[in-house]
Amino acid sequence: MSDDKPPSSQPLQKSLLDRIGHFLTGEPQDQADLLEILQEAHDKHLLDAESLSMIQGILKFSEMRVRDIMIPRVQMHVIPKDAELDTIVPLILELGHSRFPVIEEDRSKVIGILLAKDLLLYALENKQQTVADLMRPVSVVPESKRLNVLLTEFRTKRNHMAIVVDEYGMTAGLVTIEDVLEEIVGEIVDEHDAQEEQYIQKQGDNKFTLKALT
């Protein structure tokens, strides 16, 4: 019987863990060095693909700005401030979004945000109101703002959407908290996905189903 033992990966694993520990406890050289170590950990099955992807997203996240992920102005679904509320309900039911920018004359000037749930209350109560009555204040951010700063603001202000403006104060697009989080955790199936279950669904005359998280 041979006394030879199967080769062990323990020395390699120990070497890799030593490198990670040295990197984290010492003075970091650069981000590329850390990414190389993490990739090596993944190659040696010490780090799964999902974790590697998330860490890479976090490292990239702090360097990204709003302009990198915003939805361009031309792609925004908007509501004119003078639109008849009765005509808006079918649009919101069709698109399934929970929030819509309200514009004055054109997309370059957003004056408020209309929440679908507020419009639903109007539809149920038959109140004589206008878009201006229902819209909420708009949060505005510069396109140069870093994503990590924006995420903190979203969380502290309990906000889900912000209008992005350029250096001249004109609307450049919009950004949502889902857009920001996707840069860390990857794609989130949400209200912007075509196959997503809609936030508001009509069940019959004056009967609607509204998802609680709206």
Domains in the chain: boundaries: 10-47, 66-210
Please name the residue ranges forming H helices in 44-194: 49-61, 85-95, 116-125, 131-134, 147-157, 177-185
Query: How many other CB atoms are found less than 10 A from the CB of residue 147?
Result: 22
Tell me, what's the pLDDT at 196?
46
Tell me, what's the pLDDT at 195?
46
CA distance 162 to 177: 9
The amino acid at 183: E
Contact 169, 108 (CB under 8 A): no
What topology does CATH give the domain 66-210? CBS-domain (3.10.580)
3-state SS class at 204: strand
Tens-level pLDDT at each residue, the chain (214 residues)? 555 555 554 554 555 556 555 555 544 466 677 777 777 777 877 777 777 777 777 777 778 999 999 999 999 999 999 888 888 888 888 887 889 999 988 888 899 999 988 877 776 666 677 888 889 999 999 999 999 899 999 999 999 999 999 999 899 999 999 999 888 777 766 544 544 445 555 565 555 565 554 4
The structure tokens 């850390």 sit at: 34
Tell me, what's the pLDDT at 66?
96
- Side-chain-facing half-sphere of 198: CA atoms under 13 Å: 16
Tell me, what's the pLDDT at 59?
74
The structure tokens 């038959």 sit at: 126
CA distance 141 to 150: 8
Total residues belonging to the chain? 214
Burial environment of residue 133 by CB neighbours within 10 A (0 to 12, 13 to 18, 19 or more): exposed
pTM for the model stands at 0.66
Tell me, what's the pLDDT at 185?
74
